[in-house]
Structure 1
Amino acid sequence: MARQLTPRSSSSVGDEKPIGMGRAAGQVVIELERMIVSGELLPGQPIRQESMAERLGVSRLPIREGLRHLAAEGLVSHVPNVGYTVARLEQSEFDQIYLMRAALEPSVLRSLPHLAATDLEDVRAAGAEVTAAAGRTDLLEMRLRNHDFHFAMFDRSPLRLVVAELRRLWTMAMPYHAVYLFDPEARKRVLAEHDAMIEALAVGDNERLVTLMAEHRQGGESGTAMVLQAGGTLT
């Protein structure tokens, strides 16, 4: 049965329709991003336009438009006369994502204003959702809510273009983070680092926040890279 596309929560990954794109194609982008990030579509998996159009309840035109957009964003790969597949990161590409994150995230965090109580509460609430997902060992939910936690901070930066690029980089790497979170000790470490970030944010210590984020990023990078180096796949 065809699935009708509907708008999703503004706190979710890929929640904003790309600028200049029609509504149907924009919703296709949102839905395909969700499938990729959640692992419903795996790295290297073909995306059949006809079956996807039937599944999402749209014509093939918005499917093609959405896939072209995702190819430009690096989430899917396209081979002429063959078709589209979910992008599979090589180790060198994964390294570049983290190189760019390391270059951009400090500037974003340093640009954050001292947060009002209501804004800080939003960040705390996002952190609590990560903790709740970890308590249920719901790794998909933990990945999604982890994204929300960080962007609850990043989105308060005035550096909008930089934040938009960070969002793209995070989305590209998210399918690979599931393996890192399988480790109970890694989950504990993530939660403890989140708590420390909130403490730094609460007192307006942006330099401390930059340092904590660097340690946090390094843990995710090293844990996930082991799978890429071994040529492993996500399940």
Structure 2
Amino acid sequence: MDVKAPATIPYFLQEQIRELIVSGTIRPGQPLREQELEQRFGTSRSPIREALRLLELSGLVTHIQRKGFRVTLYTETQIRHLYMLRAELEAYGIRQVAEMPDVGPLVAELGACHETIVAAMDRRDVRGFIAASREFYLAAARYTGNAPLTSMLSKLYEQIEPLGYLLARQSLETIKIPAYTEAIIQALASRDFDRAADLTRGYLVEVLPAILQAYREASLDAA
């Protein structure tokens, strides 16, 4: 069913189009035709174009000269770079926790996130799983008060969210993240920060081939 936008609100349109991209309704590499989006959301071209520009800033959308906007289509090398950057940023955030005298509140927060992740997987709630996983890995950066790291991770998560969604939608029941999050919590509780950082990095290294395969199957080039 088409969604009617409030009067010319580009941020509303940005979120609506973003949801279509993240959920895979609009696939990697697919053109984003402004006329079709106008009809879908019942609005004029100007706010549609502004919304697409906002999505371009986040990396979800690419503008090609004389061809218009389309969903960003990553190469496998680009995906590897994005995930290895995430691994290093998350590991750095974990290691910074070593400077905090008390990790108890962080361990409790991560435990709650872990339970939410498990519950979302049990009920096959892909959206809830993605959100809880994101919060788990952001928690350390927030706990240390590292605002630049928190901001960088938040932007990176937004950029790669469609990739994680693809994998979770295809094989949520086989994802091993609960074993890693539980082990990370245990390592932090015993103040073994190097092990916690290595586990954080190790999960992404393990899951990356499956993400690449899911993306390969979902992209227009594979259609």
Give the TM-score taking structure 1 as reference length. Answer: 0.75
Task: State the identity %.
Answer: 24
CA distance in 1, matches of 2:188, 2:17: 33
Give the C-alpha shift of residue 178 in structure 1.
4.3
Structure 2 counterpart SS, 1:44: coil
Give the C-alpha shift of residue 25 in structure 1.
2.8
Please give the root-mean-square deviation of Cα atoms over the aligned residues, in Å: 2.9
8 Å contact 2:87–2:201 — kept in the other structure?
A: yes
8 Å contact 2:88–2:201 — kept in the other structure?
A: no
CA distance in 2, matches of 1:35, 1:154: 29
CA distance in 1, matches of 2:194, 2:88: 15
1:142-157 correspondence to structure 2 within 5 Å: 142-157=129-144
CA distance in 2, matches of 1:91, 1:101: 15
Partner of 1:31: 16
Task: Using CA pairs under 8 Å that are at least 6 residues apart, name the structure with larger relative contact order, 1 or 2.
Answer: 2
Partner of 1:47: 32
Give the C-alpha shift of residue 56 in structure 1.
4.2
CA distance in 2, matches of 1:57, 1:81: 25
Letter of the 1:86 counterpart: V
Which of 199, 208, 226 does residue 186 from structure 2 map onto?
199
Partner of 2:72: 87
8 Å contact 1:37–1:174 — kept in the other structure?
A: yes
Partner of 2:115: 128
Cα distance change on mapping 1:55 and 1:199 into 2, 3 Å: farther
8 Å contact 2:23–2:162 — kept in the other structure?
A: yes
In structure 1, stretches of 5+ residues that fail to align are: 6-22
In structure 2, stretches of 5+ residues that fail to align are: none
**Is 1:96 matched up with 2:81?**
yes
Give the C-alpha shift of residue 152 in structure 1.
3.1
Partner of 1:3: 4
CA distance in 2, matches of 1:155, 1:174: 20
